[in-house]
Amino acid sequence: MNSETVLSVFESNGVVHAKVNEPLARYTTWRIGGPADVYVSPRTVEELTGAVHAAKALGMPWWVMGKGSNLLVQDGGIRGLVIRLGDEMAKIEVDNHRVIAESGRSFVSAANIAIRHNLAGLEFATGIPGSVGGAVMMNAGAHGGEVKDVLEWADVLGGDGTIRRLTNRDLKFDYRYSLLKDHPGIVVRAAFLLQEGDGTALAEKVKQWSQRRSQTQPLSQPNCGSVFRNPPGTHAGLLIESAGLKGLRKGDAQISEKHANFIVNLGQAKAVDVLWLMRHAQETVRKKFGVELETEVRIVGEPA
């Protein structure tokens, strides 16, 4: 099926901004990734629903992304439709102790708005550079807090084009896991139930966390955040550094000299280079310490 026919199906479903063969590197924090067959960044819930209906009509698989953090798109790109939920779907409201945000909202922004309203419980999110939808899907966490601690409900669009409201319990949260990892759906919006807090004290805590991150993490270089989960009782970065791998480079991908659980893009890194470093780190740590490093980053798409 040619591109014009595909785009006409999307247009007939109310999706007028679809693109074909769109490079995904520009939408990931690693600045890495091959093209999507079709790419859509919906501006409304109706356009989002239309995109899913169009993909279904075409027999096309679909996949959703947020801010593109914690994500490695392989160099061959992604077959089918990629739906990116970003700034176009980022409405947010505060209702008493509840913050309700659309999935494209920056999780950091949602947390800062909560703090400005003297609401406590979401401040951990200021260390997570992703979207609300992505954070819910993976039960994102930092600084001892995670989504499951504060999420009340999420409206989720299923493959049949209908939206259902799932509660915290429905989502079956676990460490960096929700039901949506095994049963794909698109988070449309989410509600976080928070407590009264002291906005000034919360902002000071966040400032201290931010200063520490800037000192210990390579925030000025394209990266995806932590590559590996921390094994019980230790830290992945410490194991990788102790194995002598800090600063190791493959092409333009490098295990950060600042924090060994980060891989940075020095300019024109490819996914294949990042994957080589990841596997080399896993093999070396396994041989030296008998510890199995599990990836925290999601690997999607096809090799070139």
List active site positions: 176, 226, 296
Tell me how far apart the alpha carbons of residues 183 and 223 are, in angstroms, rounded to a whole number: 27
The tokens 């160099």 sit on which residue?
Answer: 75
Whole-angstrom CA distances from 277 to 26, 31, 71, 245, 248 are 22, 17, 15, 9, 8
C-beta of residue 113 within 8 angstroms of C-beta of residue 98:
no
In the structure encoding, which two tokens stand for residue 160, read together?
């049949």
Residue 38 amino acid letter:
V
Give CA angle at 242 (239, 244), nearest 5°: 120
Structure tokens of 274?
A: 């990042």
Helices and strands in the chain: count of H runs, count of E runs: 7, 18
- For residue 14, give both structure tokens: 């109310």
The span from the CA of 149 to the CA of 168, in Å, is 9
CA gap 286, 6 in Å, rounded: 47
d(Cα 18, Cα 60) in Å, to the nearest integer?
14
d(CA 122, CA 108): 9
Token code pair at residue 237: 């970065």
Contact 273, 303 (CB under 8 A): no
